Structures are given as C-alpha cells and as structure tokens.
Homo-oligomer: A and B are copies of this chain.
C-alpha cells in the first residue's frame, strides 16, 4: 500500500508588509509540512521568505534555484526541475506550500512550477495574494478603475510600442516592473500628456518604500519593484 500523496498549496504572500498576508495564507503556512520558495539572485525570492518567516519556524525549506535570465530554454529547465523537486515531496506524502511575492496569478513564478504539478494530477489549491497594483493604489489613495473605466496591467518590460498603445487606449494603466526602461517610459508619458496623471510606488509596503506623486523627476537608482499607475480616469 502506498502513502497518500501530499497536496500542493500555492500561496501569494502579498507585496511586502507581512500583515498583508491573508488569514488563509497564514493558516496554510502553519499547517504545511514543507515550504517551497523560488531562490533568485534578485529581491523577489528573499522578500517572500522574509514575509512568512514568523509562520514557518522549524519547517523544512525547499529553495528552488531559478536563474535570472531571459534564456527560455534555461528557464524552462529550471522550472521543470523545481516542479520535480516539489513533486518528490508530494509523492512522499508531504503537503507543500509554495510561496510567491504578491499574487499567485499575476506575473508570478509560481505558475511555471504549478502547471506541471497540476497537469500530473496532484491535489492543489491556490491562495490569492494582494497584488502590486492594489497595494500601490491603496498607498496612493486612488482608484484603479471606477464605474465604466477600464484598466490595463502590463509589465513595463514589454516592448515600448505596446506600452504606448496600451496607455493611449485605456482609462487607466498599471505598469509593473517599470524601472529598467523608465527614461523611455517617461518620454511616452510626456508624449501622451499624462505625466501629471501618473504616480508610482517603489517597493510598496516594504521597509524601503518610496512614493512618487510627481514622476517628472525620478531618481536613477529605481528598483525592479516599481509600480506606476497612469490614471486618466473618466469618473
């Protein structure tokens, strides 16, 4: 007789403030047999672990090493290996909680690890987390979308023509991960006449948060965790 297999929990732990974890996320972390987290050289991996530290003391930790690269082949190999590592624990009957910064479904590494696990038929549950657009809007005290407004969300690592087209055709737009291309994006905002309708939050709710209500003068040392909200609004 074989052991019953464990269940996979994919948990969005929110943007940075440990208090923005959900009650359900905390409970499942406390109940899990094993915690899995992506390990990158960037800020994202360690931040997610920092958020959940108070709730996972003493539990085994699976750090899934993911390369910081745009090479799709290397990435897919790392994701497949990460999924295999998690499945080995599930096969051993352990419930595994995989944590991800922000929300489980929005620009999250979790989805790449989760898909093969789901496809292989393991029991699973995803727990949503507060995403960066919601966190930044709350910090700024502005609406993402009201009434008949519409909202577009994209990574500012997308090509610039797409960024410009998106801003032009929506009431409101959120650009996540906006740091790398900021000077070019600032040019777009200027051209579209929306510089004064844009605000941004860097490392929202983390310890070193910076709020920019005037984005016409941005510093050069911007973090990967920059979320800009262009709110043309109609309401």
From A21-29, A84-92, A191-199, A209-217, give the one contacting chain B: A21-29
Known: A24-B19, A128-B134. A148 touches B157 (CB 8 A): yes
The answer to whether A19 and B14 touch across the interface, beta carbons within 8 angstroms, is no
Chain A 125-160, CB-CB to B under 8 Å as 1, else 0, gives 011111101110111011111111111111101100
- From 103 to 126 in chain A, residues with beta carbon under 8 angstroms from any chain B beta carbon are 103-108, 111-112, 114, 118, 124, 126
Known: A14-B22, A145-B107. A162 touches B150 (CB 8 A): yes
Q: Does A83 contact B (CB under 8 A)?
A: no
The answer to whether A134 and B12 touch across the interface, beta carbons within 8 angstroms, is yes
The answer to whether B151 and A158 touch across the interface, beta carbons within 8 angstroms, is no
The answer to whether A105 and B137 touch across the interface, beta carbons within 8 angstroms, is yes
- In this complex, the member of A27, A139, A144 whose beta carbon has the largest number of chain B beta carbons within 10 angstroms is A144
The answer to whether B141 and A126 touch across the interface, beta carbons within 8 angstroms, is yes
The answer to whether A127 and B138 touch across the interface, beta carbons within 8 angstroms, is yes
The answer to whether B151 and A153 touch across the interface, beta carbons within 8 angstroms, is yes
Q: Does A39 contact B (CB under 8 A)?
A: no
Q: Does A17 contact B (CB under 8 A)?
A: yes
Total copies of this chain within the assembly: 2
Considering only CB atoms, which chain B residue lies closest to A166 in the complex? B150
The answer to whether B104 and A134 touch across the interface, beta carbons within 8 angstroms, is yes
The answer to whether B12 and A18 touch across the interface, beta carbons within 8 angstroms, is no
Chain A 22-38, CB-CB to B under 8 Å as 1, else 0, gives 11101100000000000
Which chain B residues border A20 with CB–CB below 8 Å?
22-24, 127-128
Q: For residue A63, give the distance in angstroms from its CB to the closest CB of chain B.
A: 22
The answer to whether B146 and A111 touch across the interface, beta carbons within 8 angstroms, is yes
Which chain B residues border A232 with CB–CB below 8 Å?
none
Q: For residue A66, give the distance in angstroms from its CB to the closest CB of chain B.
A: 13
Which chain B residues border A133 with CB–CB below 8 Å?
105
- The chain A residues found within 8 Å of chain B, CB to CB, are 10, 12, 14, 17-24, 26-27, 103-108, 111-112, 114, 118, 124, 126-131, 133-135, 137-139, 141-155, 157-158, 162, 166, 169-170
Q: Which 9 A-B pairs have the closest CB atoms?
A: A105-B137, A19-B24, A150-B154, A126-B138, A128-B134, A128-B138, A111-B143, A105-B144, A151-B153
